[in-house]
Structure 1
Amino acid sequence: MVNKHPLPGSERKAEEGSKVVGQCDPSERIEVFVMVRRQQQAQFNALMSRIEAGDPGVKPLSREAFAKDYGAAPEDLAKVKTFAAAHGLTVVREDPAARSVLLSGTIAQFQSAFAVKLEHYEHHTTGQFRGRTGTISVPDDLHGVVEAVLGLDNRPPARPHFRIRPPFQPAKGHQVSFTPPQIAALYQYPQGDGSGQCVGIVELGGGYNTSDLKSYFASLGVGSPTVKSVGVDQGSNQPSGDPSGPDGEVTLDVEIVGSIAPGATVAVYFTQNSDAGFIDAVSRAIHDTTNKPSVISISWGGPESNWTSQSLQAFNSALQSAAALGVTVCVASGDSGSSDGVSSGNEVDFPSSSPYVLACGGTNLTASGTSITHEVVWNDGSQGGATGGGVSRAFPVPVWQQGLSSTSAKGVKMPLSGRGVPDVAGDASPVTGYSVLIDGTQTVVGGTSAVAPLWAALIARINAAKGQPVGFINPKLYKAAGVCNDITQGNNGSYEASVGWDACTGLGSPNGQKVAAAL
């Protein structure tokens, strides 16, 4: 008799507004990831404490050393493979560094292996997906070994955080747009082109057209960067021809990074929009020994409540690995204000709420010539979008945010009860947006999606000039006074900007040269 243990954090409730529309075909083949525990967890925790405290004595680990010391133990991977064989499942690949084993099999085999029932659901916003309710179970030998089983359900947890400027003229203020190099100049980015660096960009759909990129970079008079597409699982570069869909996201990200750091290689990791796909693509980018990105930009996310706690922890654990490897991860904080689009209350967007990323919020920027004349929190109203920001319910206050407070829109200061989002900000309003070329059309785009690649390109320039990666920068940024332009006006719904850190724009928008000096 095999004892089955519920996997902690795997509990799924039926999503509000979704209904079962049919049974899954038991013979349909799917792929599922099993993630196992880290070797030497206590030693790794001690290392992370030093990194989180900003200890200058800690050097980033090489990808090889990391895999050996803090990847999966061979015996843990062997247990998963034995379990797979017993259930007729095939091992597609294993990645000891990312601590994952990808299994393939039929729905019937996975239902029996993990004691789950998979059904087809329909939801009014996300469409159809394969889902489950209740917990996933694992047998005795995998109890305590397996940390997450991802991919049984494939509901999309994330959305892209970009906003295309609407064609109508808004009532307030006139519209302006900037090219990414103009924005970099306004933010006083240090000279350089990021040569020798690789910037990884994670995308959950859509694609870019090489012809768009060629003509865009030529129109700006910058050299064309090397752009590589990396397919993860069933993902690939698939432009749909619709600039308002995910193509808008992909092209925006590549054009911002590529025009500000044209000397860098841009590796775009394409995957599907599911927790398994998202976590795997980020892990693949972090542990990629071929392209070796020193900075990763992520412009997708969803409210913390969209994620099961096993997905949240598995993802956060991958981002911890990035910090240990000296890889800076920049993440958009969301475009739906303090509510993050949930029907009631406030939420922050994940993965921007992970304490191991640089969470990037949004501003509205006015400039005259080469200088900024006015910069406020990005909030274009409920239809126009606003910067995500607030206080995490999933992660405690990190060391480097201790003692900080958020200010409510009523002016009340409250000490942080969890990780505060965002850390930094940059121009994000479509009214003062970025001029880009998407699917052959000249378009003006905003959203915090633009801010993650904007900061990633700054980090690439700094890394290139320094000759080594700056790595996990949050502890240093929070200690360095005055390296960001403090944004003190505006709100994102429930939170208001204030002097110093706030839950709308974090520490503020970059003064690139000061940021470079502080790092």
Structure 2
Amino acid sequence: MAKHVVAGSERQPVVGSKRLHPTDPHEEIEVKLKLRRKNDAAYQALIHKLEEGETVPAMDRKTFASQFGTSSADCTKVHEFASAHGMKVVREAPQSHLMVLAGTVAHFQKAFDVKLDVYTHPKLGKYRGRSGPVHVPDELEGIVTAVLGLDNRPQARPYVHAKFDANSTNDEPQPVAFNPLQLASRYKFPHADGRGQCIGILEFGGGYRDRDLQAYFGLLGVPMPEVVSVDIGHATNSPSPDPQGADLEVALDVEVCGAVAPAAKIAVYFAENTEAGFIEALATAIHDDVNQPTVISISWGAAESEWTQQTVARLNDALQMAALLGITVCIASGDSGSHDAGPNKPDAVNFPASSPFALACGGTRIDEHGDGAKAEVVWNDGPKGGATGGGISTLFERPVWQAGLSAARTKGEAIELTHRGVPDVAGDASPDSGYLVIVGGRVGAIGGTSAVAPLWAGLVARINSIKGAPLGFVTPRLYRHAGVCKDIRHGNNGDFAGSKGWDACTGIGVPDGEAIARTL
């Protein structure tokens, strides 16, 4: 029986890793398969319209599943394959082309012709890894488009920068620049509370505590929003005792969304921090017919080069599905300036923010002592303080709505865009003009582009509640009406500079919420 390579599945251990030993062949693991969709030609025709900047009426989830889900015949073939190889299907979601298999390492190594070893890395710790591509047999060729979870290295990182007083408590608020309501006022968010909407938030570690949320919204004087956690696989809402852990990200996301849109339901999707977990989390949120989010906020990511090609393709597919379902997806552009892959590496941008189907959110710093145009500038607090992610993608060609744009260089001439430019929009991100939060009973200020994605998500939820319909895939329309954002022209993120019009630091600028609501 022939074996066929799954396109884009090649992977190597993380640079700097040391192989320890083979993985225990009896260890039980889960692996996620992404499958092809039905009616691909019709699907691609709709995506082409979106790529051309056309507006496509939002589909409901049931219709999408019927027209473009995975066929029952393909699902049956996966069940038969799993049974023949000593594995079982433990979860399946044909509407999002996902099936999850469980079995031993030995079963998976034989079924997909891979060798799994245990590695250790100075920063990532121990993980299960592999080298080379994944293979599938004849009966699954063309059906399986990705095999995820054989490698379980930590994949994404949150984009937060925190400043806490070591002795602070939620009874003693420390001086911070802004709370989310003040920023909503500064950015002229329309008067609304997000009623009737659901904001989905993706998290890959940490958790939230109800007592923190109650203290926070009580401090702000806004109603406590409805917050629900959605556990995916073996991940749960798990607050950590680590004061610098992922709880900071979770608290920031929930508290910013909840402050800006307190009448919206907030659904927090917890998944494992792996490529497989990222795929399942986004698919679950998009196709959640219980909570039905109309906007999703993602404040995690990694440099484009750190993802496998199969995962990039499948996550981009998921963001396309969100666009067809009328869901706006706001994604942080990263906090490492123009060097998302590291300070001594070439310019790089963050994925999934670099997907053309994302609303990529960059960052500014607000200086209340500044005047005029310099009162808000590109966020760049230096190597230790972080800077807004931005630059030019190496994975995605330039979308039509960025035609004719150039990225101004800090030193030298501007570069005409031939590939996707990041970010699209911006908002306050510096911890020096940060966001009031309460996490683990402590009050402090958090910055990072992680704050900008939930801020924009809250704005979208407000506008959706006013319209009574979702804004959906809003990115092309924002470029067509760039005047609805305030241009940020001063500062740089390393190799790219702020400039008139779009730039690779703050996109088309920070929001004028009333203008966006009125125009779009």
- Superposition TM-score, scaled by structure 2 size: 0.96
Shift of residue 54 of structure 1? 3.6
Shift in alpha-carbon separation, 1:166–1:494, aligned structure 2, 3 A: farther
Give the count of matched residue pairs: 511
* 1:242 Cα deviation after fit: 2.6
Measured in 2, the distance between the counterparts of 1:242 and 1:373 equals 37
The alpha-carbon deviation at position 368 of structure 1 amounts to: 7.5
Contact kept, 8 Å, 1:361 with 1:387, in 2: the verdict is: yes
1:344 Cα deviation after fit = 1.1
- Quick check: 1:419 aligned with 2:406? no
**1:193-204 superposed matches below 5 A:** 193-204=193-204
Opposite residue 461 of structure 1, the aligned amino acid is R
- Corresponding residue for residue 514 of structure 1: 515
Of 150, 153, 172, 1:152 maps to 150
Alignment of 1:419-438 (within 5 A): 419-438=420-439
Please tell me the root mean square deviation across aligned C-alpha atoms, in Å. 1.6
Q: What residue is the counterpart of 2:235 in the other structure?
A: 235
Residue number in structure 1 paired with 2:113: 115
Q: Tell which deviates more after alignment, 360-369 or 491-500.
A: 360-369
What is the distance in 2 between the residues matched to 1:437 and 1:302?
26
Uncovered stretches (5+) of structure 1, i.e. residues with no partner: 169-174
* Equivalent residue number for residue 210 of structure 1: 210
The offset of 1:460, in angstroms, is 0.2
Which residue number corresponds to residue 493 of structure 2? 492
Matched, 1:469 2:466: no
Which residue in 2 is equivalent to 1:504?
505
Aligned to 1:257: 257
In structure 2, the partner of 1:171 is none
Shift of 1:211: 0.2
Render the CA deviation track for 1:234-288: whole Å, top value 9, x for unaligned: 1110001333110000000000000110000000000110000011001000000
Deviation at 1:140, TM superposition (A): 1.0
What's the counterpart of residue 459 of structure 1?
A: 460
The residue type paired with residue 242 of structure 1 is D
Deviation at 1:150, TM superposition (A): 0.4
Give the C-alpha shift of residue 373 in structure 1: 6.8
Take 1:215 and 1:243, find their aligned partners in 2: how far apart are those partners?
18
Alpha-carbon distance between aligned partners in 2 of 1:179 and 1:109, rounded to the nearest angstrom? 52
User: Deviating runs (4+, > 3 A) in structure 1?
Assistant: none
> C-alpha deviations, 1:3-49, integer Å up to 9, x for none?
00111100112321111112211001000001011211121111112
One-letter amino acid of the counterpart of residue 163, structure 2? R
Deviations 1:444-471 (A, max 9, x none): 1000000000000000000000001010
Cα drift, residue 372 of structure 1: 8.8
Aligned equivalent of 2:20 = 21
Displacement, 1:341?
4.0
Matches within 5 A, 1:69-468: 69-165=67-163, 176-342=176-342, 343-367=344-368, 374-468=375-469
In the aligned structure 1, how far is the partner of 2:137 from the partner of 2:221? 60
Judge conservation of contact 1:367–1:373 (CA < 8 Å) in 2. no
Are the structure 2 counterparts of residues 91 and 349 from structure 1 closer, same or farther at C-alpha, using a change threshold of 3 Å?
Answer: same
Alpha-carbon deviation of 1:127?
A: 1.4
8 Å CA contact 1:242–1:439 kept in 2: the answer is no
The Cα shift of 1:320 comes to 0.7
Residues 180-208 of structure 1 deviation map (CA, whole Å, 9 limit, x = unaligned): 00010000000000011000000000000
In structure 2, C-alpha distance between the alignment counterparts of 1:505 and 1:247, rounded to whole Å: 27
AA in 2 matched with 1:146: V
Shift of 1:321: 0.4
- For the Cα contact (< 8 Å) 1:365–1:372, is it kept in 2? no
SS in 2 for 1:382: coil
In 2: Cα distance, 1:324 partner to 1:467 partner: 18
Distance 1:399 1:123 in 2: 41
**Aligned-pair CA distance for 1:51:** 2.5
Do residues 4 (structure 1) and 3 (structure 2) align? Answer: yes
2-structure distance, mates of 1:256, 1:417: 35
Instruction: Report SS of the residue matched to 1:285.
Output: helix
How far did 1:59 drift?
1.1
Any idea what SS the aligned residue of 1:97 has? helix
Letter in 1 for 2:51: E
- Give the C-alpha shift of residue 366 in structure 1: 2.6
Indicate if the aligned counterparts of 1:36 and 1:147 stay in contact, CA closer than 8 A: yes
1:52 Cα deviation (Å)? 3.1
Residue aligning to 2:170: none
Q: What 5-or-longer segments of structure 2 have no aligned partner? A: 167-174
SS in structure 2 of the partner of residue 393 of structure 1: strand
Q: Which moved more, 1:301-310 or 1:509-518?
A: 509-518
The answer as to whether partners of 2:488 and 2:510 remain within 8 angstroms in 1 is yes
Determine if contact 1:462/1:516 at 8 Å carries over to the other structure. Answer: yes
Partner of 1:68: 66
Write the distance in 1 (CA, Å) between the matches of 2:80 and 2:391.
44
Structure 1 residue 167, shift from structure 2 partner: 6.4
Deviations, residues 100-135 of structure 1 (Å, cap 9, x unaligned): 110000000000000000011111221111000000
- Quick one: which amino acid aligns to residue 118 of structure 2? H
Q: Which residue of 2 aligns with 1:172?
A: none
Answer whether contact 1:477 1:518 (CA < 8 A) is retained.
no
Q: 1:424 offset after TM fit, Å?
A: 0.3
Are 2:380 and 2:388, in contact at CA under 8 Å, matched by a contact in 1?
yes
Partner Cα separation in structure 2 for residue 373 and residue 420 of structure 1: 24
User: What is the letter of the counterpart of residue 12 of structure 1?
Assistant: R
Aligned-pair identity in percent equals 53
CA distance in 1, matches of 2:311, 2:140: 18
2:263 alignment partner AA: G
Report the CA distance between 1:410 and its aligned residue. Answer: 1.0
Report Cα offsets for 1:322-350 as digits up to 9, x if no partner.
Answer: 00000000000000110014231111111
Following the alignment from structure 2 to structure 1, what is the Cα–Cα distance between the partners of residues 131 and 328?
35
Q: Find the residue that maps to 1:419 and give its secondary structure.
A: strand
For 1:52, the aligned partner's letter is E
Please state how far the C-alpha of 1:77 moved relative to its aligned partner: 1.3
The CA distance in 1 between the partners of 2:495 and 2:488, in whole Å, is 16
Deviation at 1:71, TM superposition (A): 1.1
Q: Which residue of 2 aligns with 1:50?
A: 49
Contact kept? 1:190, 1:512, Cα under 8 Å: yes
